[in-house]
Structure 1
Amino acid sequence: MIDFHCHLDLYPNPVAVADELERRGVGVLSVTTTPAAWAGTTRLAKGRPLIRTALGLHPELAGARYRELHLFDRLLPETRFVGEVGLDGSPRHLSSWDSQIQVFDHVLRSCEQAGGKVLSVHSRLAASQVLGCLDRYPGLDKVVLHWFSGTKAEVRRAAERGCWFSVGPAMLTGARGRSLVSEIPTDRLVVETDGPFAQKNRRPLRPWDVTDAIDGLADLWGSTRQHAAQVVRANESALLSL
């Protein structure tokens, strides 16, 4: 099983978490929030084959860190994975909206030109705008919408575009989240934790807690846990083999 969105470097004890996920045989896409964090975060993957590091520039930091785009472009050839990137329409981040658009558009253009990248995309309160940006870059066919919280119509629009969705335990605990997940095509869904930001019982989720998402999917689909795990593993293989 793969945790498709986790901030491994932001745990208080990232080395211990990295060692434990390897011991448990859990894969993880370790996303970064700025290009400057790349060097330190990639060190966590050294000698740990189940960890893949994604190069990112988080929309919440776009206003302060947009000057790191040159570093993003320089590092992009070093990885197949990009994240966390996207747009955030929360009121407290609207002051940086122009910078967010500039950064996200640059990232998408660079990724399309490079080819073959898998993107983990943030779209909180900005789903329509994110999808509009993605529509300008049809060559990007491996886009994973992380913790998607748009409308059902936006879920369908994203699915028609060919997007994937990473779903965590937090999405599967409330009625609205479960309703949205029920709209996601079952062959376009992978799992995530968004640890250490997402929590369970006031404890940060860890990569191996993706099993909670499997349990939630089995309940939602009215299937066995084994069936839900088989579906997700098949989706992981399909996405990574594209």
Structure 2
Amino acid sequence: MTIIDELGLPGLPEALPRGIVDNHTHTLTTTNYSKLRPADSLELAASVGVTHVVDVGYDVASSRHALALADEFPQVVAAVALHPNDAATIATRDGDEPFEATLAEIESMVPEARAVGETGLDYYRTRDADGKLAQERSFRRHIGWAKEHGKTLVVHDRDAHDDILRVLDDEGAPERVVMHCFSGDADFARACTERGFWLSYPGVVTFGNAEALREAARATPLERVLVETDAPFLTPAPERGKHNAPYLLPHTVRFLADLLDVELAEFCDLVTANTFAAFGGRWGDDA
């Protein structure tokens, strides 16, 4: 019996013909988010062609853990941030002093990280005016850190498309911006790529009710396409509803290659090159 069987996880997909990068996962960062140990998760991912991973922090503890994992595993790089919903919660529940102290702790980790994020705006879970204001304050600070330290900015955008662009335009976007878990339509995709952003497509693009997202993917220049799991969330078809992990990324990769009419090996090479460009260069043993 394999570890997948023991833990009741989805089976291994067919391996990809070329290596590819999961540019956004949380499953390595904390055991609360994964049934697999980091070493096992990375081994399973590598067995199906997912050779590199961006592990994404969302608060102080997970950001520290992401940095520690990047130190331990050469195929991993870390992103550090305070998630917008956490920013809203801390500011409205605990007040300005704890909010500022938390941001200062995140800022202290930025020089060691490959990216700043995920940061941004989330109007799905945070709907009150004070919470939205706290999110924007945090977002602006993260943008500044990314620019100051030459880091990639990883943007969380949920139901906040117009304000995301407003804040980025107002602050001046960093050189490299990744729109994580892209959820806009074709017009928004064009607005983002016209600004030079990369758009990262999750397993949602495989869902039957996601035609608008598929239209966005078709409208995205191939050199701006990235792919992610956002594991343990958003597991792609045919495993939708089950626990997600980096080793399931091939389902989304195959779907997008077919959708965009690109031969699979070529698509893997393209997305890998895009990801290293978006995150400021290669990493791992082959860097």
TM-score (norm 2): 0.77
Question: CA offsets per residue over residues 50-101 of structure 1, 9 Å max, x none?
Answer: 11111011111112233311112222112121111110121x4112101001
Contact 1:21 1:27 in 2 (8 A): no
Q: Which moved more, 1:163-172 or 1:12-21?
A: 12-21
Does the 8 Å contact 2:189/2:199 carry over to 1? Answer: no
Equivalent of 2:264 in 225, 228, 241: 225
Residues 1:64 and 1:12: Cα distance change in structure 2 (over 3 Å): closer
1:6 is matched with 25
- The residue aligned with 2:203 is 169
Cα distance in 2 for partners of 1:75, 1:18 equals: 21
2:202 counterpart letter in structure 1: G
2:217 is equivalent to residue 178 of structure 1: no
Q: Residue 22 of structure 2: SS of its match in structure 1?
A: strand
Task: Between 150-159 and 13-22, report the one with greater CA deviation.
Answer: 13-22
Alpha-carbon RMSD: 2.0
Match of 2:179 in 1: 145
State the match for 2:57 in structure 1. 32
Note closer, same or farther for the CA distance 1:238–1:38 as it changes in structure 2 (3 Å cut): closer
In structure 1, what is the equivalent of residue 148 of structure 2? Answer: 113
Say which SS state the counterpart of residue 122 (structure 1) adopts: strand
Structure 2 counterpart of 1:19, from 39, 49, 55 = 39
- The 1:15/1:201 distance shift into structure 2, 3 A limit, reads closer
Aligned partners of 1:123 and 1:100: how far apart in 2?
A: 11
Q: Which runs of 5+ in 1 are unaligned?
A: none
C-alpha distance in structure 2 between counterparts of 1:237 and 1:228, whole Å: 14
Consecutive unaligned residues of structure 2, counting only runs of 5 or more, are: 1-19, 91-98, 282-287
Query: Who is 2:252 aligned against?
Result: 213
Counterpart CA distance in 2 for 1:189 and 1:223 is 12
Determine whether 1:158 maps to 2:197. Answer: no
Indicate how the Cα distance of structure 1 residues 15 and 189 shifts in structure 2: closer, same or farther if over 3 A, else same.
Answer: same
- TM-score (structure 1 length as normaliser): 0.90
Task: Answer whether contact 1:147 1:171 (CA < 8 A) is retained.
Answer: no
Please give the alpha-carbon distance, in whole angstroms, between the structure 2 residues aligned to 1:229 and 1:110. 31
Aligned to 1:94: 127
Q: How many residues align?
A: 240
Alpha carbons of 1:196 and 1:240: their partners in 2 closer, same or farther (altered >3 Å)? same
- Structure number, greater radius of gyration: 2
SS in 2 for 1:94: coil
Q: How far has the Cα of 1:12 moved from its partner? A: 4.1
Structure 1 residues 110 and 159, CA, compared in 2 at 3 Å: closer, same or farther?
Answer: same
Q: CA–CA distance in 1 between the matches of 2:33 and 2:171?
A: 38
Q: Give me the whole-angstrom Cα distance separating, in 1, the residues matched to 2:279 and 2:104.
A: 27
Identity of aligned residues (%): 28
Q: Find out whether 1:192 has 2:228 as its counterpart.
A: yes
Counterpart secondary structure, 1:178: helix
User: Relative contact order, CA 8 A, sep 6+: which one is greater?
Assistant: 2
Distance, in Å, in 2 between the alignment partners of 1:234 and 1:37 is: 27
| CA shift for structure 1 position 121 | 0.7
Secondary structure of 1:87 counterpart? strand
